[in-house]
Amino acid sequence: MRAVSVGLGALALATGAGPAFGQASPKVSPPKGKPNVVIILFDDAALMDLGIYGGEAKTPNIDAIARRGTRFTRYSTSPLCSPSRAMLLTGLTNHQAGVATIKEVLPKEHVGKPGYGLHLEPNAATLPERLRLAGYHTYMSGKWHLGDGPGQLPGSHGFDRSFALDASGADNWDDKPYMPFYNEAPWFEDDKPTSYPSGQFSSAVIINKMLSYLDARPKDDKPFLAYVALQAVHIPVQAPREYTQKYAGRFDGGWDQLRKDRFERAKALGFVPKDAKAPAMHASMRAWDSLSADEKKMQAKAMEVYAGMIEATDAEIGRLVAHLDKTGELENTIFVITSDNGPEPSNPGGERGFNFWMKTHGYTRELANLGERGSHNWIGPEWASAVATPGYLFKFYTSSGGLHVPMLMAGPGIAADKAVNAAAFVQDITPTLIDLVGGAPAIPDAKPISGRSLAPVLSGKAQAVYGPNDAVGVEVSGNAAITKGDYTLVKYNPPYGDNQWRLFHVVNDPGQTKDLSAQLPEIRADLERAYAAYAKANGVLELPKGYKVQRQAAHNSIMRQLSFYGWQLAGLALVLVLTIFALIRVAFAFFTRKKKAA
């Protein structure tokens, strides 16, 4: 396969799986035929959440995989789950794939528009489709969130077997929803509705299902693709008690201390320059010392559960690794471990009606059992901001904290125990894997891949596959970024943004502390032109006037609730009207009789 560069003003769009700059891809010669591929996707994990990236949680199994391969420290994804998943699985931009955003925040003006169907479009060929043509068995277990209508579930997009959740999240212990937008947890097996095994932790369930698929596959020596899409650490943040207890007291210093600690570790690990400035906390966020003693206990416990959830999930990943080792397939398996976006800042407990909804759906939020079965939990914006360090802000936003997440690859054709600061993007994963497995047959009428193969970087034959004149953009619900060379131009929505473009140096200022627009007007203008070209090429729509993401999410949730319970509410309203009418008639008859008697 080859790279084709198409000039769009300042924007360079690469298609195909080959690297840029005319360099040949490294010849990959797996020791035992084509390598297996395992993709492990965390949900809402920050750049420094994993142990190997300097996180507080212990992740020995992930760390061991990482030391066998290459870690990226300048990898970017999209700021939201479904767009990132579409990009990862297709090698396209989210708009090209048909998943511009998520339905939870979609305005009615965008419904049904090209790129805004919010499911993979028919000509958006996926990695499993391509690898199946190359002789692979293909399996998926975990969060899908790319549509559950006819032709939208995993089986229609290249997976032989699948256990899939088509929602933004679900409870990690029981078969139930986690927010009012849903009236159930929509799980599917092989594209047919199924149930979640209540009482079991989600990471264990997802790994168990994948192991069952691997054990049941045909004994034909064909390689496999295993896509493991975890619920950790999406809200509700939950974990088995034995893991949460390991972090008792670890976060008692609060989010201000965690920010300082992570930033110093980021310097020590070489993620940021020694003279870099730490990212600021948004002015709307609370100082840790402003909390009461009880609030501090609850907040610290929430983070203990967060760390426990990561370690518990690492233990389940260890079971998958041990299984492959036992079957003799480990050494010939390529691993990709990454996250769909930065940490989740939502504080649902502060939203009107949510506490009532929790109670009606069997949730509590108490210190003693926080994060255990029946307990709802979240870390909120202050912890999310601290967790996102050395980046600024978090999920939903195209800031560094929303886009920069961990990504590592290990296996045949990949240099071991190496960290690289080369630019890499979520749409690069599909072309990279196609390259590493030796290629895959072309799919007629499929949209050309827009990502680039990172194989030259992984093999050590090149330092980068993106040059100073290559621009890469992303847009989700008005939050946008365009990166070119060492500069990035970003804007994001309220409440944490103001929809104004700002220019930052990616390497020297990862915390996005100094807007360089006034100092470098020519670079800003160049990036503005590059973004305009990206937006035009991808069919990006302007948001309706007055759009506010929280208001849209609330509106969409109410509309969904009405669709779930409309008949019941209409029935109650009718009963109420009839009751009032009957009372009026009784009262009228009473006063009429009383008047006659007088």
Q: Which residues are known to be catalytic?
A: 81, 145
Helix (H, G, I), strand (E, B) or coil at 60: helix
For residue 187, give both structure tokens.
Answer: 């799980």
Q: Are 435 and 28 in contact (CB under 8 A)?
A: yes
**14-18-23-26 Cα dihedral, nearest 10 degrees:** 150
Give me the helix-helix angle, 429-436 and 81-90, nearest 10°: 30
Q: What are phi and psi of 568, to 5 degrees?
A: -65, -45
Task: Give CA–CA dist 435/34, Å, rounded.
Answer: 11
For residue 42, give both structure tokens.
Answer: 């965390």
Task: Give CA–CA dist 197/206, Å, rounded.
Answer: 11
Q: Are 567 and 574 in contact (CB under 8 A)?
A: no
Task: Give CA–CA dist 307/367, Å, rounded.
Answer: 16
| Residue located via tokens 């940021």 | 272
- Taking the alpha carbons at both ends of the chain, their separation in whole angstroms is 100
- Give me Rg for the CA atoms of the chain: 25
54: left (phi over 0), alpha (psi -120 to 50) or beta: left
Using the 8-state DSSP alphabet, how is residue 23 labeled? Answer: P
For residue 366, give both structure tokens.
Answer: 């108490």
Furthest-apart CA pair in the chain: how many Å? 107
Task: Give CA–CA dist 60/37, Å, rounded.
Answer: 20
Q: How many CA atoms lie within 13 A of 244 on its CB side?
A: 20
DSSP secondary structure string for all residues of 77-104: --SSHHHHHHHHHHSS-HHHHT-SS-GG
| Residue located via tokens 């320059």 | 273
Query: Which among 191, 183, 151, 155 has a CA at the least distance from the CA of 167?
Result: 183
For residue 554, give both structure tokens.
Answer: 């609330």
